[in-house]
Amino acid sequence: MVLPLLPPLLLALIFSSLALLAQARLSYDYYAKTCPQFNKIIQDTITNKQIASPTTAAGTLRLFFHDCMLNGCDASVLLSSTPFNSAERDADINLSLPGDAFDLLTRAKTALELSCPGTVSCADILAAATRDLVTMVGGPYYGVLLGRKDYRVSKSSSVAGNLPTSTMSMSTIIDLFASRGFSVQEMVALSGAHTIGFSHCKEFKSYIYNDTNYNPRFASALQNACANYPKDPTLSVFNDIMSPNKFDNLYYQNLPKGLGLLKSDHGLNNDPRTRPFVELYARDQNKFFQDFAKAMQKLSVYGIKTGRRGEIRRRRIS
Ligand code: HEM
């Protein structure tokens, strides 16, 4: 094996050239000729699903993030386990990914297979659906390059340590994003995704009795909300209690008021490396939207497979 012997700078150069090469094969209108209904089918599917199940947008955004962070945006998180392989989605941290997000992908894939069989990858569907759902709940629109392929390898054993958890230190979270090429500012902007969706009591229960980061009235409301946990492990609370269903910058405004939900949310406000960006985005929603959109564009091409490195899967799950 020659690669490990190469100097790090040369390695970085090789990897960034490979990434550019992969991106060169992508385009915004990749399906214009082969599946002209692509955008309409995605739009119709996400609109129907989000209206029927308003938790879909947040669930899909988290699903996309978890797919991309682990070896790239290649739809490997959508694969089901088999008797011979325990897939990513069965790793502990992914068990809380909501069924509605997977269902959305099944619906979109089925509709696209009917219109343009064997043409559109699940990875492109997930990237475009996420973008459209973010816009639908009030967030910024951003261009998504298309032409990613799906990847067949999906192992639950590769997940641990590659996705951030709420109990990680801020240094570990910063390092995790940095190892994928994301700056501290990009990480803080992406974390603004917690302006929608919810977290299960399991994720914050142990802090709400004695952690001074919480506003005392908020802490007692959380104690009430989670009183029946762990008897009822489905109990959960909105990530942004001020405007839970709207994509806005209130998530950042909440943090200095002690209205953050997760330990990692408080961490963003407490750490001197991240706090300036929390303050910036709390003051300026336009800046948050611009930076979130740019970071999502960057995330959406992270580690993608093109050409023969991937395939167009026939079904979402196999
Ligand atoms: C910075 C480190 C991060 C940590 C430690 C973290 C951790 C978590 C945790 C523990 C939950 C609760 C899951 C549950 O109980 O169901 C959650 C929810 C969520 N996360 Fe993150 N997250 C991080 C960054 C991100 C990023 C970068 C995105 C997207 C770009 C994101 C999107 C979401 C969304 C949308 C939800 C709500 C999911 C739902 O309602 O189903 N998170 N996150």
Assessment of whether the complete model's pTM goes beyond 0.75: yes
Mutation probe of ligand 1 site: the residue of 144, 162, 191, 255 with most atoms within 8 A of C-beta:
191
Protein residues with CB under 6 Å of any ligand 1 atom? 55, 58-59, 61-62, 65, 96, 98, 164-166, 173, 187, 190-191, 193-194, 196-200, 203, 239, 262, 264
Interval 261-297: pLDDT, tens: 999 999 999 999 999 999 999 999 999 999 999 999 9
Helices marked H in the chain — which ranges?
Answer: 8-24, 38-52, 56-69, 99-115, 122-136, 170-178, 184-191, 216-225, 250-254, 263-270, 275-283, 285-300
Give me the active site residues, please.
66
Please give the mean pLDDT across all residues of the chain.
93
Ligand-binding site membership of 195 (annotated): yes
Is 17 marked as binding a ligand?
Answer: no
| pLDDT recorded at residue 317 | 73
Q: Where are the domains of the chain?
A: 22-163+303-309, 181-297
What class is the 22-163+303-309 domain? Answer: mainly alpha
Residue with CA closest to ligand 1 atom 10: 166
| Topology alike, domains 22-163+303-309 and 181-297 | no
Q: 10 Å Cβ neighbour count for 3?
A: 9
Separation between Cα atoms, residue 115 and residue 117, nearest integer Å: 6
Q: What is the pLDDT of residue 315?
A: 81
CB 173 within 8 A of CB 268: no
Q: Which residue of 172, 199, 266, 296 sits with most ligand 1 atoms within 8 Å of its CB, as the best mutation to test the pocket?
A: 199
CA of 114 to the centre of ligand 1 (A): 33
**181-297: which CATH topology?**
Peroxidase; domain 2 (1.10.420)
- Summarised one tens digit per residue, pLDDT across range 4-32 is 545 545 544 555 555 555 555 899 999 99
- For ligand 1, atom 12, the nearest C-alpha belongs to 199
Tell me if 248 is assigned to a ligand binding site: yes
35-83: pLDDT as tens digits = 999 999 999 999 999 999 999 999 999 999 999 999 999 999 999 999 9
Q: Tell me what pLDDT residue 18 has.
A: 54
**Atom 24 of ligand 1, residue of closest alpha carbon:** 191
pLDDT at 225 over 90: yes
